[in-house]
Amino acid sequence: MIRHNAKAARWVLTAPLFVFLALAVAYPIYYGIKTSLQQRSLLDPVPSWAGVDNFTAVLKDTGFWHAVSFTLKFTVVATVFEIVLGFLLALLMNKHFPGRKKLLSFLIMPVMIAPALMGVMFRLLLNSDIGIVPALLDKVGISISLFSNDTVVPLLMVLDVLQWTPFAFLLFYSGLQTVPQELYEAASVDGAGYFRTIRSVIIPLMLPILFITGFLRAIDAFRTFDVIYILTGGGPGDQTTTVSIYIYKAFATGNFGTASAAAVLAAILMLPLVPVVVRRLAAPETKATR
């Protein structure tokens, strides 16, 4: 049912969007790739052609590979815990009990807090002089430095889980709401207990949502910057430098060429995932939680 005036209208309606996309997406991508092939820095502002020099420099840098492996480790561990804990919490919240509505709002509050501000609050919470957590640990006789070499990585994972389990929970919870009550009843008529029903009925039904949520969490964890940068600045040493922090450090020290090359490499690392995104996120039938 295309109307006769629609042909003109669709150009008029999309023109602003396309102009914006060209200026804000296409041109920066082009510019970023161009910069990655240039010798360009704060001290050396007139760009000159560098070929693949920046790329070989980044690829030879052990710091870059350390950042990649730390980021991957961080992503996998945090995502797995967030999915498992979020799902358990969703199951717990899926039955009626007093005060559930208000507790739901309470549980998802961290999702609405800017990670950077969360980072500042974590600093307060974990501060060795005035923070609640060190004080509590002290009370029970544990005196460890939370930001030492041994503890900093697990600590950052715990903090990520603390902030983003509510996100996973929220998506699972709303997914569980769409499971018809009859399914539970049918399973119970067939003699399935609670855990059997979860395993054989609920989990298979929820698999697409579990997958999408895990995927969304993973790509966001992989790009993590704010909280870790505010808490550790990537240290001690470069122990907690994520890929984003690595690129930012190169940028902040004025090495625009190397920073851009590292950014292009980070984008290339994500390329294998493009088909997954395209299939899962853009396909209309997987809007499961609507």
Partner 1 sequence: MTTTTPYAPATTSTDRPLRARKHRRPWWKTAVVLFIGLIINLPLLSAVLTSFKSDADISRSPLTVGLHFTLDHYRNVLAGTTYDFPKYFMNSVLISLGAVVIILVLAVPGTYAIVRLGFGEKHLLRAVSSLRLMPAIFFAIPFFLLYNSLGLYDTVGSLMLVNAFLNLPLAILVLAGALRELPIEIEEAAFVDGAGTYRTLFSIVLPLLAPALVAVSVLVFLFSWSDYLFAVILSSSNATPVTVGAGNFITSTGILWGDISAATVLSVLPPLCFALFAQRYLVSGLSVGAVKG
Nearer Cβ to partner 1 (200/251): 251
CB distance 67 to 246 below 8 Å: yes
Nearer Cβ to partner 1 (23/52): 23
Instruction: Kindly give the residue spans of alpha helices, DSSP state H, lying in the chain.
Output: 6-21, 27-36, 53-60, 62-93, 100-107, 115-126, 132-139, 152-177, 181-189, 194-197, 203-222, 226-232, 243-252, 256-270, 274-282
Query: What's the closest the beta carbon of residue 268 comes to partner 1, in angstroms?
Result: 10
Nearer Cβ to partner 1 (59/124): 124
Query: What's the closest the beta carbon of residue 270 comes to partner 1, in angstroms?
Result: 4
CA-nearest of 84, 76, 39 to 224 is 76
Nearer Cβ to partner 1 (18/200): 18
Query: What's the closest the beta carbon of residue 190 comes to partner 1, in angstroms?
Result: 21
Query: What's the closest the beta carbon of residue 196 comes to partner 1, in angstroms?
Result: 19
CB atoms within 10 A of CB 204: 9
Query: What's the closest the beta carbon of residue 13 comes to partner 1, in angstroms?
Result: 4
CA-nearest of 179, 172, 180 to 88 is 172
> Is the previous residue joined to 236 through a cis bond, with omega within 30 degrees of 0?
yes
